[in-house]
Structure 1
Amino acid sequence: MLIHFASFTLFSCIAVNVYVKVFTNSPFLVCMDLARSREEVIDPKYLWIGPDGKNLEGQMYVNLTKTGKLMVMGFKESMSGAYTCTLSHKIIETTTQEERVVFEAYKFMVYAYREADHAYQVFVRFTTRECELAANSQFFEELKKILNNIISDLTCHILESSYKCHSIKRPKQGLLHELFVSFQVNPFAPGWEEVCHQVPYDCEDATNMRVQEARERIGEFFNKQTYALKHEFQTVPTIHYVDNSFSVTHIDSCRPGFGKNDITHKNCASCCVVCEPGTYSPNNEVTCQICTRPRVKKYGATSC
């Protein structure tokens, strides 16, 4: 008479990072690795544990299949954290029919993320007769009004605008004077939140589309200045656009509770990823700050 003994073996795997856009469903997390999925699995059982340490079976916000796949639905910042699955299955020896139970643990670090909010820093230059000209400041104020009017219907506006006048000596030319103008094209003009409420799940996408359109309109405005100077003016104005001086720098910002980290989250380097416990972001900067006294134990903190 043969006596069959059951033995137990436990294997663990390295944690895999997964990034889920807020308010969307996560991809299916599979409770086995690629090698195991290509093999026969006898009497598999799956136990999924969420970040709060509780069994996920029967929870309303998850889709848990019979084959051990997990989807977290309507993902929020607070759902971020470690999701672990223990797969148990049997291995039966062909000759002795001895049964051996194997436990394999799989860990997923799941993070909520948002798309970064875009803005554009614009630099442009204008020739003027002299730096002390009173009309310089009047021209600058009028330019801001014109640009704001061009983009106002997009709920975008001009911020952090400034100018400086510099004297320039170019080869084989006399002394010139130019206004160096700088301003930011920003998508958060008054009323932007009402527009955002119409598309709450993809607010950043809608915001970024609007500010991209605003940047294109402003670029077209300065292109027309070049055309007008060449074809429409018989006498060149005292203050006029310097051809090809228009340049743009892309600026990212993150919503409070989110930040960028291309080292920790290199697979989502351009994303605004939820701040981890012990860190926080109170504003629209792109970095999660470390709490001096780590009392924050939740994801997405906006203060210590």
Structure 2
Amino acid sequence: MDMQHLEQWIGKSESLTERIAPFPSNALAATLNRDDAPYIDGSELPHLWHWLHFLPLFKLSEAGYDGHAALGGFLPPVPLPRRMWAASRFAFHAPMRIGQTLRKVSTVKSVEGKEGRSGKLVFVTVGHQIFDGDTLCVDEDHDIVYREMPKADAPVVAPKQAPVTSDFSMAINPDPVLLFRYSALTFNGHRIHYDQPFCTGSEGYEGLIVHGPLLATMLMDLLRRNAPNAEIERFEFRALATVFDIHDFTLHGQMSADGKTCDLWVRRHDGAMAMKATAQLR
């Protein structure tokens, strides 16, 4: 793997402009079983729902074997077959509103190769900034990890166990319809989220994989349901273990004593900490 070649993508940037339509928000609200009033022009876009917009488009003929866009283009052509949304960090500066024309600027900030227990890894960090005119609304860093296919004799590391008790929680049944809806809303063609024979046969997973950003969106939604008046200044999350559609899981939230932060996590059926997140409140 030629890391010097991949590092040439550092600093590469692209800009997308979009008028924020109400349909994606109404569709996601229905998917999350929310009882929101209809989203219309002027409605504030809930945190993380910007992922429904500025979607990269590519021809079906340009898709790879797994449904992702073929390597190259804006992201570096990392020659490793598995790609995963590892983590994100956000600073929320100003509201984004439906009906406004917003601009998203994305920049490749770093490309780093590592050697892990399962083999070679490449971490790519992309910065995203969304503007309403000259006003910065959201500043996001997105970590993507590329992996080798696991070897048959690769060591299996037991995931960290998640706390059982919390201030508030919610049980989720991740059925294939939920995963399909979120894939459609985010124009995500990755077959691991909807193609069960591909996922279990070709890729060797236990079942369909629940999207990392969907889990993060659910954690943010859990906080919104239980602290509806909270003003969130910063949010970050890290994916720690894979969540499959064949088992229910639970979302949890724990407020700090001073009410300034909220720890959030996804607890799998086996007790594993699948995702850990923190929200800083104003």
Instruction: Report the TM-score when normalising by structure 2.
Output: 0.24
Instruction: Report the TM-score when normalising by structure 1.
Output: 0.22
